Chains A and B, each alone.
Chain A
Amino acid sequence: MNTPSSSVFDPVTFEVLNHRLLTISEEMGINYMRCSGSNVLITGNDAASAIMDKEGGLVSVGPYIVTQGNVLPLIVQSTLNSSQFGELKDGDIFICNDPYMGAIHAPDFATVSPIFYEEKLVAWVGASGHQLDTGGMDPGGFSVKAVDIHQEGLRMPPVKLVDKGQLREDVLEWIINQVRDPLVGLDVRGQVACLTAGRERILGLIDEWGIGALKMTMEHSIEFSSEKLRDRLEELPDGEWREVQYIDHDGHEDKIYQIVCTLTKTGKSLTFDFSGTSPNAKGLINCTYSGLQAAVLSAVYINLCWDIPWNRGIRDCIDIVSEVGTVNNCSYPAPCAMATISGVIVTIDASWRCLSQMLLASEGYQQEAMAVWSGTSMAPIFAGTSQHGFSFAATEMSHFGGGGGARTYADGVDTSGIVFNTTPNMPNIEDQESEYPVLYLYRRHLCDSGGAGKFRGGRSGELAYTAYEPPENDLVGLFAGTGAEMPNAIGLAGGMPGNAILIGRLLDSDIFQRLEKGKNLPSYLDEIVGTREIMRSKHERVSINTGDVWHHCWQAGGGYGDPLLRDEISCATDVLRGAVSKDSAHRIYGVVLNDDGTVDGLATKECRQRIREDRLNAATSINSKKSMMVLNGPPKMKFGDVLYIDDTGKSVFCSNCQHELCSKEDNLLDYLVEIRSSLSAAGPVRGEDYDHGRFHLRQICCAKCATLIDVQVVLKNAPLPSMKVIAS
C-alpha cells in the first residue's frame, strides 16, 4: 500500500480514510455494547462513540444517540484544562460524568483517551453511555426531589481511569462502590474496551497510510462539513426568528419555565440567542451548557445537515449566546438529572421551529422543513420485586414511539421516534410481561394525537397496565415527564400542535373481579371502573397496588398547514383508521362524513365555510408591538404555501385567497388577525386535565379568508414567537 505522507488533499485517500474513521467509530460502539450487555444501552441505543482531532474537535461520531456524541469534545476540553494530570501519556483514559464539565447529566458516563504517534498527541477517542444508576437519592438516576446536583449521586470530574494502559482498579472499585447496580462496572469496562480498540485501529491506520494522511483526512472532513453548511446557509434567506417553548413543573412546584430561542441568520453565519430564558429551576429539569450545545447541534444536524457529516465543522458555523444561570444553561449547583428529557429536548424544539421556518422561506429547501416532532420525552419508572424474585427498576420505554412532525408534502410518521435517537425502539408487550409483574390492557396509537393540518402530525400512543401477581406486592411507580399542561410539538404554516402527555391511574378497579367472573378485559379507559386520578407530570414513588390501573400517553408530532385545506378523502380515511375522531374531523378539519364513512361533499364545503366565518367573527386585530412577521424577499418568493410575494416584488399575498396583505417591508401582523382560544381547540389531550389557565392557542390567520398562517402555543406574559425574513 502506498503511503502519501503529506497533508495535501487527495480525493481517493480522503474518501478511503474518512469511511475508515466512520467505521472505526461504529466499531468502537460495537465493542462497547458487546461488553456491557445493558438493556438501556443496547435496546435504547443510549450511547455514543467518537473520534476527535488533537484539540478535541469532533471528526466522526457513531450512529447512536445524537446528543451524547456532542459532549465528548467538552470532556476533552475539561481534561486538557485540568491541572491534575500534568503530562498526558499514551494509553491514558479519563472518565467524567460532571454536567458542569461536559456531560449532559450524571447518568451519562463519558471516557476519553489521547492517542499519541511518535510521542506527539494526534487524536482523541471517546465514548459515552447512559448508566442504570449513579447513586444519589433515588435508584435509576432521576431524583425528583433533588435540589442540588450533590443529591443526584456520583459526580466525577475527569479522573484517570487507565494509566498508560493499566486499568486503575482502585478507581473502578470506587465507582462501583458509589452505585447500586453492578452492570455499571461492566459498562465502564466496555468503554475501556471500546477506546482501546479505537486507539489500536487508528494507530494501524497511521502505520498503513502515514500520519500525514490521517491529519489531512481529519482536517478536510471538518472543513468539508463547515464549507458545505456555509454554502447551504448562503442559499437560505437571512432573517430573525424567535420561538418560545416551555417546561411545566420542576419536581417541586407547578411552575412554568420558558426557553426563548432567537435565531439570527446573516449570510453564512447562524446565531442562536437564548436571552429571555427562565432562570435555573429548583429541581432536576435544568441542563448545563453541555446540554444546551448538544440540543442546538442536534436541531442543526437534523434540519440542515441531513447529507453533511456531523462533526466539528458544523459547530464552527454556529454561535450560541446564553446566560449562565438559566434553565438551559444552569449554574452550579443546580440539579439536572432530567436534562435530556426536559431542558435539552425542549431547547431542540425551540431551535427546530426557528430552523424549519427558515427552510420554509426557501423554495429550494422548503421540502426539508418539518413541524416539531414529539416535543418531549419521559421516564415512566416502575420498580419492585419481579415474578422471578429479583428486585428491579425499569423504565417503560414505549414513549420512544413519539409522533413525527408533518412535512410540507406528507403526514408525519406515526410512532416515529424521539428526535435525539437515530434508531428508536419500543419493547414488545410479551417481553415486558415476561420480565415484570404487570399486565397490559392496551397499547395503541392515540386518536387525535397528531397535530391537525393540511398534513397531519404523526400519531403518538397510549397504554395502560395493572400490577399482575407481584410476589412481594411492593410495586411502585415514579413518573417524570414534560409537556402535560401544554404540547411542545408545535405545527408549521398553520398546522396545529400535537397532543400533550398525560399520566393517570384508576384506583381499586374491578379488573380482577371481572376476570373471575369470566368477563372480558377492558381495552379502553372508559370501560374501566375505578377512582380516576390524574397524576402530576413529575411525582415521587407511589405504590401500585393490585387492581390499580396506570395509564399514560406521550407526545405526537405537529401538523403542517391549515386543517381546512386537508384533502377531505385523506381526512375520511383518517377517521376510518381511527387516527382522527369524527368529532375532530368535523370541528377542526370541517369534514362531514356520511354514516358509511364517506365524505358528504356539500356539507363539508358548507362546514368549512362556516368555520372560516366563525374564525373571522372570533378574530381580533393583533397587538404588533410584541412580535413581528415580516416577509421581505425577492419577487415570487414563497413562505411554505401560506404566503407569497407577487411578480413585481412589492407586496405579500395570502396564498389561499390571493388577497394582498401588505407591502413586503410591513409587519404582516398589522394586517392579519388572531384568535385566542383554549388549547383544546387543537384537539383532545392538549393539557385540559392540567389546565391552570396559563396557556392558550394563538391562531393567526388571513383577515379575508381566515386561512391559518401560524398556530402557536403561548403563555400569558411570555414573549411571543416572531419572524423577520430579509432575503435578497
Chain B
Amino acid sequence: MYTLSVDIGGTFTDCVAINEVDGSVITRKTLTSPHDLLEGVFQGLDQIADALKITTPDFLGSVGRFVHATTQSSNAIFSRSGAKTAVITTKGFADTLLIMRATGRVAGLSVFERHHYRNTDKPAPIVDERNIFELNERIDHNGTALVSPKESEIREIANKIKTESYQAVAVCLLFSHKNHDHEAFVGETLRKELPGCFISLSYEVAPVIGEYERSTTTLFNAYVGELIKSYLSRLEKKLQKSGFNEKLLVVQSNGGVAMAAQTIPVMTIESGPAAGIVGTARAAKQLGLENIIATDVGGTTFKVGIINNGDWSYTKETVINQYQLRLPMIDVASIGAGGGSIAWLDSERLRIGPRSAAADPGPACYSNGGTEPTVTDADVVLGYISPDRFLFGDMHLDYELAYNSINNIAEQLFNGDVIAAAAGIRRVVDSQMADLIRKTTLERGYDTREFVMMAYGGAGPTHVCSYGPQAGCQEIIIPSEATVHSALGAAMTDIRFSLSYSDPMVLPKPAKVFEKIYTNLENQGRELLKEAKISERDYSFLRWVEARYRRQVHTIRIPVIGNLSEAGLKIIAEDFHEEYERLYGIGTGLKEAGIELINYGVEVVGHTKKIDPQVIPLLKKNPIPRLKRQAYCNVQRKLIDTAVFEGDKLGAGSIITGPAIIEQPGTTVVILSGWQGDVDKFGNIHITEIIT
C-alpha cells in the first residue's frame, strides 16, 4: 500500500508516494497547469506509476491514503475569479469590508513599500457597496439581542440576491461569535430561498471577536467556496474513475487534514506552507530535536516558521492580498525574497529585490527573455548550480545569459569583475535573509542561537550555509527530499479541526463557565472525527486559551490541561504570567489590572498511523565526487576547484568537507569552506562549522 501526497504550488506540482511497508519514497515534480490543475496532478501520478512499472489505475488502487494540498483558493482570490458574491451585514455597518480598518492600504507591505504612499492602494474590492445588504438587527457585546431580524426583510434581500443572480452569500453580523441566533436564522431563510447559492455564515467560518477580520474570512469563504467544492469533487470523481477507492483528504491551513466534504473552503488557503512546517516538526522529532527554525526559499518568497518545544504555533492574523483574516493557520512569516529576486543599481548602491523575475520571464539564465540579473543567475555564475542539472535535468540553464545579465553591475561597481559582482549579490541577499530571520524570531520572543535551522525549497539548501550562521544558528539541516518537503509533511499529517470561541471575560469567573465552552467545542469535535471515520482511541483534544493583561495589548496562547476547576484556572493564570514574562521580560505585565481570557479553542486531532522513514544504507567509504568544477570560495574570494557530489550516491555516515556541492533532485546543497556536511541514517545532511 502507498500513501500518496500531492501539493500544488504556484510553479510546480509535487507528488510523493510513500511505500507504507518499507518507508521508501518516490517523488515527482511537474509544472503546475493553471488552466486545469488536474492535468499537472495526473501527469505526476502517471510518472510515479511509470517509475513503479505499473499502470496508473493499479497504482491508485494500491493507495490507502491520498492527501492533497492546493493553491486553488489563493489563485481565485488573486485573480478575482471567484463567485459573484453578496454580503449581508448589520444595519449601519455595511462599509466594514471597504474601510478595511484603514490598514488595508498597507497590510502585508514592507516598510519600503509603505514609504511610497502614492503607490499604495487598497486591493480591488471583491464586493463593493452595491453587493452589500444591510439588515435591521443588533446584538450587544453581552450577546443580548436588541433588535431581532424580521423574516420578511431577509426574504426581501434574498429576492434581490436572486434577481441579480449572485452565486454566493456571506453573512457577518455584529457579535455573532457571541450569539449566533440571528445569523443562523438568516442562514436558514437564505438556504430556503436560495437553494443554488453557496451560503457562508461568519459564526461557522470564524467564530472570533473582531467584525472586520471575521467578515473578510467569511467573504473569502463564500467567494472561493463553490470553486473549491467543485474542484475537490471533480478530483475525487476522476480519481475514483482511475482506480482510487479511498476518501480524499485535504490539507488545511492548520497543518492537519480533513475529508473533502468537511473542508471549509477558505481553510485550504496557504495549506502548502503549513504542511512544510508539519514536515519540519516530524523530521525534528525523528532526530530528537525540539527547537527548529524552518526556512523555505522559493522563486519569489522566503518563508520562515518556528518549531518550539517540538510544536508549531498559530498566527493571530493572516494577511492575504492585503485583507486581514482570522483563520486557524500555522504561523509562517513570508517575505519577498528568493531565487528570482532582481539585483539592480540605485545610483552607486547594489540593491536586491523587492522586484522578482518570478517564473515569467524568470532569471536571465532560463533563456525565457529575462535580462535582469537575479539571485539564481549569480548562483549559476558562481558555479554553484549546474546548468545541466536544474530541475531533475529537465531544464537547461544558460551560463552565458546569466553572466551577461550581471555585466552591467560588474562594470559600474566592481571594475568589470563579474564574479565579484555575483558574489556581492549573493552576499547581500544572504545577509538580508539572515536579518529577516532574526527579526522574525525576535518578534515571536525567541533567540535564534537556541535553534537548529532547517532549509528546504528550491533555493534554501543553496544559500543556508551563509544565511543560517549569520542569523545565529550553529547547526543546519537539509532534510532528505528537501524539494518536496511540504508534500512529504502533508502525507503523514493528522486529521485536525481547530475549533474556537470568543468571549472576553476578566478573571475571576467560575470555572464551570469555561468548562461549558470547552465541552461544547469538544462535542462538536467528536462529531467531526466520527464523520472522518477515526476510531475513538485515536482521538485527542488539546484545549487552549488566549489571554491578555486587562490593560495591555499582547495576547498569548496558553494550553489548558484537563477539565477545568477553580484550581485549574489558577494554573492558567500562573502559566500565563510565566509565559508573558518569558516573552516580554520580567516585570512587564501589569498584574494588578487582572487577566482577561478572550478566545477559547480546542485542537481536535484524529491521529493517523505514521510510517517510519526508510533508513539508508551505511556507507563506509568516502563518497567520490561526480566531478570537480570551478565554484566560488568565500574565503579565497575566487573560483576554485570544488567537488560536486551526487546526492543519491551518499550514504549514512558520509562526511562531505566544504567547499563542496551536493546535487539533489530539484536543489543544490552548497557547503562553504570551513563547514562540513554529515549524512545521517535518514539521508538528512547536517551542516556544522569545522572546529580546528
Q: Which A residues are within 8 Å of any B CB, using their own CB?
A: 9, 11-12, 14-16, 19-20, 22-23, 26-27, 30-31, 34-39, 42-43, 63, 182-183, 186, 189-190, 193, 224, 227-228, 231, 301-302, 305-307, 310, 367-368, 370, 387-388, 390, 400-401, 404, 407, 410, 413-417, 419, 422-431, 433-434, 439-445, 461, 468, 515, 518-521, 523, 576-579
Q: In the assembled complex, how far is the CB of residue A403 from the closest CB belonging to chain B, in whole angstroms? A: 10
A441-B92 contact in complex given A34-B585, A422-B106, C-beta closer than 8 Å? yes
Q: Which of B98, B346, B553, B554 contacts A445 (CB under 8 A)?
A: B98
A461-B117 contact in complex given A19-B431, A577-B129, C-beta closer than 8 Å? no
CA distance A579 to B442 in the complex (A): 43
Cβ–Cβ contact B93 & A444, under 8 A: yes
Task: Pick from A12, A189, A441 the residue with the most CB of B within 10 Å.
Answer: A12
Cβ–Cβ contact A11 & B347, under 8 A: no
**23 A-B pairs whose Cβ atoms sit less than 8 Å apart in the complex:** A11-B413, A11-B424, A15-B349, A15-B424, A20-B431, A37-B549, A37-B590, A38-B553, A183-B551, A183-B552, A228-B346, A302-B115, A306-B116, A404-B105, A415-B99, A416-B122, A422-B106, A423-B103, A426-B101, A428-B210, A429-B96, A443-B95, A515-B147
Q: In the assembled complex, how far is the CB of residue B124 from the closest CB belonging to chain A, in whole angstroms? A: 12
Cβ–Cβ contact A370 & B118, under 8 A: yes
A19-B116 contact in complex given A37-B554, A186-B588, A186-B590, C-beta closer than 8 Å? no
Q: Does B100 make an interface contact (CB < 8 A)?
A: yes
Contacts of B229 in A (CB 8 A): none
Cβ–Cβ contact A523 & B427, under 8 A: no
Q: Which residue of A lies closest to B121 (CB)?
A: A413
Task: Pick from A39, A42, A423, A430 the residue with the most CB of B within 10 Å.
Answer: A430
Q: Does B520 make an interface contact (CB < 8 A)?
A: no
Contacts of A227 in B (CB 8 A): 347
Cβ–Cβ contact A228 & B347, under 8 A: yes
Q: Does B360 make an interface contact (CB < 8 A)?
A: no
Cβ–Cβ contact B146 & A37, under 8 A: no
Apart from A434-B209, A576-B130, 15 more pairs, CB < 8 Å: A11-B414, A12-B427, A15-B352, A27-B439, A34-B554, A186-B588, A224-B348, A302-B115, A413-B121, A428-B210, A444-B95, A523-B92, A576-B129, A577-B128, A577-B130
A19-B435 contact in complex given A310-B115, A370-B117, A422-B111, C-beta closer than 8 Å? yes
Q: In the assembled complex, how far is the CB of residue A692 from the closest CB belonging to chain B, in whole angstroms? A: 32
Q: Which of A34, A301, A443 contacts B115 (CB under 8 A)?
A: A301
Cβ–Cβ contact B106 & A424, under 8 A: yes
Cβ–Cβ contact B92 & A443, under 8 A: yes
Q: Which residue of A lies closest to B503 (CB)?
A: A434
CA distance A415 to B352 in the complex (A): 32
Cβ–Cβ contact A520 & B91, under 8 A: yes
CA distance A629 to B618 in the complex (A): 85
Cβ–Cβ contact A440 & B92, under 8 A: yes
Q: Which residue of B lies closest to A461 (CB)?
A: B99
CA distance A549 to B212 in the complex (A): 24
CA distance A19 to B550 in the complex (A): 37
Identify which of B79-87, B134-142, B262-270, B300-308 touches chain A. B134-142
Q: Which of A390, A439, A523 contacts B134 (CB under 8 A)?
A: A523
Contacts of B550 in A (CB 8 A): 388, 390
A442-B114 contact in complex given A27-B442, A37-B552, A388-B550, C-beta closer than 8 Å? no
Q: Tell me the residues in window 357-390 of chain B with beta carbons closer than 8 Å to chain A beta carbons.
A: none
CA distance A34 to B584 in the complex (A): 5
CA distance A441 to B140 in the complex (A): 11
Cβ–Cβ contact B117 & A306, under 8 A: yes
CA distance A63 to B115 in the complex (A): 9
Q: Does B288 make an interface contact (CB < 8 A)?
A: no
Q: Does B428 make an interface contact (CB < 8 A)?
A: yes
Contacts of B588 in A (CB 8 A): 34-37, 186, 189-190
Cβ–Cβ contact A14 & B92, under 8 A: no
Q: Which residue of B lies closest to A419 (CB)?
A: B117
Cβ–Cβ contact A407 & B439, under 8 A: no
Cβ–Cβ contact A23 & B105, under 8 A: no
Contacts of B481 in A (CB 8 A): none
CA distance A427 to B99 in the complex (A): 11
A12-B103 contact in complex given A193-B585, A468-B140, C-beta closer than 8 Å? no
CA distance A700 to B101 in the complex (A): 37
Q: In the assembled complex, how far is the CB of residue B493 from the closest CB belonging to chain A, in whole angstroms? A: 32
Cβ–Cβ contact B122 & A413, under 8 A: yes
Q: In the assembled complex, how far is the CB of residue A508 from the closest CB belonging to chain B, in whole angstroms? A: 19
Cβ–Cβ contact B590 & A183, under 8 A: yes
CA distance A423 to B122 in the complex (A): 13
CA distance A88 to B351 in the complex (A): 37
Cβ–Cβ contact B443 & A30, under 8 A: yes
Contacts of B413 in A (CB 8 A): 11
Q: Tell me the residues in window 587-606 of chain B with beta carbons closer than 8 Å to chain A beta carbons.
A: 587-590, 592-593
Q: Which residue of B lies closest to A66 (CB)?
A: B115
Task: Pick from A11, A42, A302, A422 the residue with the most CB of B within 10 Å.
Answer: A11
Contacts of B92 in A (CB 8 A): 440-444, 521, 523
A424-B102 contact in complex given A15-B350, A15-B428, C-beta closer than 8 Å? yes
Contacts of B431 in A (CB 8 A): 16, 19-20
Q: In the assembled complex, how far is the CB of residue A159 from the closest CB belonging to chain B, in whole angstroms? A: 21
Contacts of A36 in B (CB 8 A): 552, 588
A415-B102 contact in complex given A193-B585, A578-B129, C-beta closer than 8 Å? yes
Q: Does B445 make an interface contact (CB < 8 A)?
A: yes
Cβ–Cβ contact A30 & B427, under 8 A: no
Cβ–Cβ contact A23 & B438, under 8 A: yes
CA distance A227 to B346 in the complex (A): 12
Contact digits for B412-449, partner A, Cβ 8 Å, 1 yes 0 no: 01100000000110011001100110110011010000
CA distance A519 to B91 in the complex (A): 13
Q: Does B506 make an interface contact (CB < 8 A)?
A: yes
Contacts of A183 in B (CB 8 A): 551-552, 590
Q: In the assembled complex, how far is the CB of residue A54 from the closest CB belonging to chain B, in whole angstroms? A: 23
Q: Which residue of B lies closest to A469 (CB)?
A: B140
A429-B93 contact in complex given A413-B121, A434-B141, A434-B209, C-beta closer than 8 Å? yes
Q: Which residue of A lies closest to B443 (CB)?
A: A30
Cβ–Cβ contact B117 & A11, under 8 A: no
Contact digits for B531-550, partner A, Cβ 8 Å, 1 yes 0 no: 00000000000000000011
Cβ–Cβ contact B99 & A12, under 8 A: no
Q: Which of B103, B148, B554 contacts A424 (CB under 8 A)?
A: B103
Q: Which residue of B lies closest to A42 (CB)?
A: B553
Cβ–Cβ contact B114 & A63, under 8 A: yes
CA distance A182 to B111 in the complex (A): 32
Q: Does B309 make an interface contact (CB < 8 A)?
A: no
Contacts of A16 in B (CB 8 A): 427-428, 431-432
CA distance A580 to B48 in the complex (A): 60
Q: In the assembled complex, how far is the CB of residue A110 from the closest CB belonging to chain B, in whole angstroms? A: 20
Q: In the assembled complex, how far is the CB of residue B408 from the closest CB belonging to chain A, in whole angstroms? A: 14
Cβ–Cβ contact B583 & A34, under 8 A: yes
Cβ–Cβ contact A27 & B350, under 8 A: no
CA distance A186 to B122 in the complex (A): 35
Q: Does B94 make an interface contact (CB < 8 A)?
A: yes
Cβ–Cβ contact B102 & A417, under 8 A: yes
Cβ–Cβ contact B118 & A39, under 8 A: no
Q: In the assembled complex, how far is the CB of residue A127 from the closest CB belonging to chain B, in whole angstroms? A: 15
Contacts of B102 in A (CB 8 A): 400-401, 415-417, 424-426
Contacts of B117 in A (CB 8 A): 302, 306, 370, 404, 419
CA distance A461 to B96 in the complex (A): 11
CA distance A557 to B106 in the complex (A): 17
CA distance A525 to B147 in the complex (A): 18
Contacts of A414 in B (CB 8 A): 98-99, 122
A11-B209 contact in complex given A415-B100, A422-B115, C-beta closer than 8 Å? no
Q: Does B504 make an interface contact (CB < 8 A)?
A: yes
CA distance A426 to B141 in the complex (A): 19
Q: Which residue of B lies closest to A399 (CB)?
A: B102
Q: Does B120 make an interface contact (CB < 8 A)?
A: yes
CA distance A415 to B101 in the complex (A): 8
Q: Does B175 make an interface contact (CB < 8 A)?
A: yes
CA distance A227 to B348 in the complex (A): 11
